[in-house]
Amino acid sequence: MIKKSFIHFSILTFVFTFILISTNFAQGFVCAIGGGSENYNDWSDAPYRWIVQKADSGKIIIIDVADASNWLPNYFVSLGATQAYNKTIPNLSAANLQSTYDELITAKGIFIRGGNQWDYIRFWKGTKVDSAIQYVFNNGGVIAGTSAGAAILGEIDFTAQSGTIYPDEALQNPFSSLMRFEDNFLKLVRNVLFDTHFIERGRHGRLIGMIYNRHFNTGRDIIGVGIDDRTAICISPDGIGEVMGSGAVTIYYKDNLTKYSPYNSGKYTIENLKSHILTRGWKFNFNNKTISFIPSSAKEFDANRAYQFPKTDFYLTGNNNISANISSNLSSFLSSVNSNNVLIISHPGFSNSVSTIISYLSSNNYNYSTLYLTSNNLNDQIEANKISSSSCIVFVGDSLNVLSFLNQAGTLVSNAFLSFLQSNKPIFFFGNAGKIVGERYVANTDSDMYASYRGRMTLNDGINVFGDLIFQPLVFDNADYYENRMSSVLWGMMRSRKLFGIYLNGTNRIQVLSSDKSISGNTTIPFIIVDVREATKVDSSVYRASGSIGPRQVVAFDNLRWSLTNYSQIKYLLDFGRFDFLTAIDKNETDSEIIDDFTLEQNYPNPFNQTTTIRFKVTCGSFSDKKIESNQTQKFVSLKIYDILGNEVANLLNEYKSDGIYEVKFDAADLTSGVYLYKLKVGDQFKAKKMIYLK
């Protein structure tokens, strides 16, 4: 016999679940499409047919602020819609007509074309159009959009009010004036921000910057959904979204392993942002942020094998500009290592460019030699001796297949190079030459702008200095190659089952140390690390565009982690999959968090529900307030909480402290939700930070 209390509990659970789903997605369907040209019997058939089916094959009205051809209405009709036509709503006056509302609510589906999302927001927000879209959605209809039309379907929209923002700009300053958002228009998918044309425009860094921006500016941790062109995610009222089309949908969100440092003087850190990349047939549950279905096409990903860590120390740079990298990066490398005998390794076709390096070494009195690799000198003892006698090596050149001759085991030259690695001697790579540092590298990223889309990138053998790495420089160097360069790391990691990927740009550099298995950088734009050790499944697109020699080279991964920083002191620890700390404490860095006598960290968690922890470091130095018997010095420390109007609401600490790191718990049970400030005063200096309390 079933107990009555259990029945009551089951009913309450069902009601709560129903309310949660209804709150998140009301009653309707959403299809967000990443842009790209539709065509009969092509990628677009699946998502556009889904729109028609969920609209009960009824009327579909296609809206925009500009006139359009009849191609799209005819396409919807060919897929089964009883009627489809364009409706131009070009301004506020048209958007507020009762006749516009009356017409739109007769539709079973409303489709928003591509264009400029700021036009949609400024002309339609709060109007009869806004109300009509909500009406259709709340009554079980379909709201769909492509490109800019998809960008306004989430609860949070990037407005493009001041123009677009490129990924390198968003990474360099996530709080740029171009980062403008709307959170009171349509709001069809709760807590989600959609970005489109994702892989083709390299927008991963842009979406990461937007998520970081929203965390600190609003206290909300949103779900970022990046949709590739010619790709869609179609979401049912139960919150389950299915991926359709040619590419992938990339999902980012903060979880309990994700950590952020504040943005200070252009410096910041993001650690372990959670991500899933999904291709056709994969499904994601937006209610609980989990993958709800993985198709049988997916393959196992074994991350439990022994890792291939760096065999020696090496430097990587973000572009091929030899002159710029000499002054900013090569000089730093040579001054930090044993540079008694520098060996330049290149290939004959690059000798003119090598002369710039030779000129620098000669003018600065370095002892150097050169080795121009060919298939004919791999067993030349003289060339092998150059490697054996060198104290460090500099790789430069644009023929990576030739530079990779060093992987041909059994030759005198390759054996000498292997001994060089075993001696832990350091290496410097100029730009693209650094791609060969892994056991495998992805080629044909820089000469054919459609290489990734048409399956023309190749996976080649590298020289295996750091076997588990896929490296891509020049990532934002030329917009024509965004898709190749962004997809190269992920595709290379999937195909070769490697665990780490790095993106780098410009004259930025990173240093990889074998001794502590760490990565650190000297960068303006943060370098990005992709870590897939939590992944269990991989997949890839099977779509072949016209002129392709293979499928589109975008992939699926579950459980990726993205980490990035532009602090030079912070190290990413490969053993542990995290940074050694989040906020720089070296006073040589320009950083508003750093004060002579103390460091104040961001409270955690933030936002918080009732309790949070405030952590700070005191360094008394010689300017202490008090000397105690043990000859230690102390400073007087106070920690207080203020509301947004400046009223003191809590006094957490008033006492002398010695050198050390301290944590103080704050319980806000008696306060109302809102923004508060916590102010730490050490001696006569103070620092304040913002915290967000959400009951």
Q: What is the pLDDT of residues 475-518, one digit of tens each?
A: 999 999 999 999 999 999 999 999 999 999 999 999 999 999 99
In a domain, 537, yes or no: no
- Residues 622/631, Cβ–Cβ less than 8 Å: no
In a domain, 259, yes or no: no
Same domain? For 91 and 199 the reply is yes
- Residues 399/443, Cβ–Cβ less than 8 Å: no
Query: Confidence band (pLDDT; 50, 70, 90) for 658?
Result: confident
- Residues 535/227, Cβ–Cβ less than 8 Å: no
Same domain? For 40 and 189 the reply is yes
Percent of the chain residues past pLDDT 90, beyond the cut? 81
- Residue 308, sorted as left (phi over 0), alpha (psi -120 to 50) or beta, turns out to be beta
Show the domain range for 108.
26-246
Same domain? For 178 and 75 the reply is yes
Query: Confidence band (pLDDT; 50, 70, 90) for 47?
Result: very high
3-class state of residue 468 by DSSP: coil
Query: Confidence band (pLDDT; 50, 70, 90) for 24?
Result: low
- Residues 326/356, Cβ–Cβ less than 8 Å: yes
For residue 522, pLDDT beyond 80: yes
In a domain, 455, yes or no: no
What pLDDT is attached to residue 688? 83
In 181-330, alpha helices (H): 204-218, 322-325
The tokens for 37 are 């040209």
Mean pLDDT to the nearest integer, 198-203 = 98
User: Which strands sit side by side in the sheet containing 342-346, from one edge to the other?
Assistant: 368-372, 342-346, 392-395, 427-429, 314-317, 509-513, 518-522, 572-573, 578-579
- Residues 194/159, Cβ–Cβ less than 8 Å: no
For residue 539, pLDDT beyond 90: yes
What pLDDT is attached to residue 3? 38
What pLDDT is attached to residue 674? 82
Q: Of 224, 246, 268, which one is at a domain's C-terminal end?
A: 246
pLDDT in tens, 611-638: 999 988 887 654 444 444 444 578 889 9
CB atoms within 10 A of CB 285: 14
Same domain? For 242 and 344 the reply is no
**Residues pairing with 575 in the sheet:** none
The tokens for 81 are 């819609």
Q: Give residues with Cβ within 8 angstroms of 320, minimum separation 6.
A: 398, 430, 431, 432, 473, 474
Q: Of 376, 400, 425, which one is at a domain's C-terminal end?
A: 425
In a domain, 564, yes or no: no
Cα–Cα distance for residue pair 109/145, rounded to 1 Å: 11
Cα–Cα distance for residue pair 118/116, rounded to 1 Å: 5
- Residue 282's H or E segment, with its range, is none
For residue 85, pLDDT beyond 90: yes
Q: How far apart are the first and last CA of the chain?
A: 40
Mean pLDDT to the nearest integer, 651-678 = 88
Same domain? For 242 and 342 the reply is no
- Residue 250's H or E segment, with its range, is strand 249-253
In a domain, 391, yes or no: yes
Same domain? For 363 and 226 the reply is no
Query: Confidence band (pLDDT; 50, 70, 90) for 644?
Result: low
- Residues 603/666, Cβ–Cβ less than 8 Å: yes
Same domain? For 240 and 343 the reply is no
Same domain? For 56 and 162 the reply is yes
pLDDT in tens, 271-318: 999 999 999 999 999 999 999 999 999 999 988 888 999 999 999 999
Same domain? For 202 and 347 the reply is no
If one counts the domains in the chain, the total is 3
The tokens for 573 are 């620890």
Cα–Cα distance for residue pair 593/601, rounded to 1 Å: 8
User: Kind of pairing, strands 537-540 and 648-657?
Assistant: unpaired
For residue 14, pLDDT beyond 90: no
In a domain, 498, yes or no: no
Domain CATH code at residue 684: 2.60.40.1930
Mean pLDDT to the nearest integer, 142-166 = 98
Mean pLDDT to the nearest integer, 155-160 = 98
Same domain? For 193 and 47 the reply is yes
Q: Lowest mean pLDDT: which of 146-160, 414-428, 674-688?
A: 674-688
Domain CATH code at residue 182: 3.40.50.880
More confident residue, 192 or 602: 192
Range 362-370 contact pairs with CB under 8 angstroms and sequence separation of 24 or more: 366/334, 366/339, 366/342, 367/340, 367/341, 367/342, 368/341, 368/342, 368/343, 368/344, 369/341, 369/342, 369/343, 369/344, 370/343, 370/344, 370/345, 370/346
Count the residues in the chain. 695
DSSP state at residue 441 = E
Cα–Cα distance for residue pair 217/690, rounded to 1 Å: 10
In a domain, 322, yes or no: no
Q: Of 230, 246, 262, which one is at a domain's C-terminal end?
A: 246
Mean pLDDT to the nearest integer, 430-441 = 98
In a domain, 435, yes or no: no
Mean pLDDT to the nearest integer, 529-534 = 97
- Residues 227/196, Cβ–Cβ less than 8 Å: yes
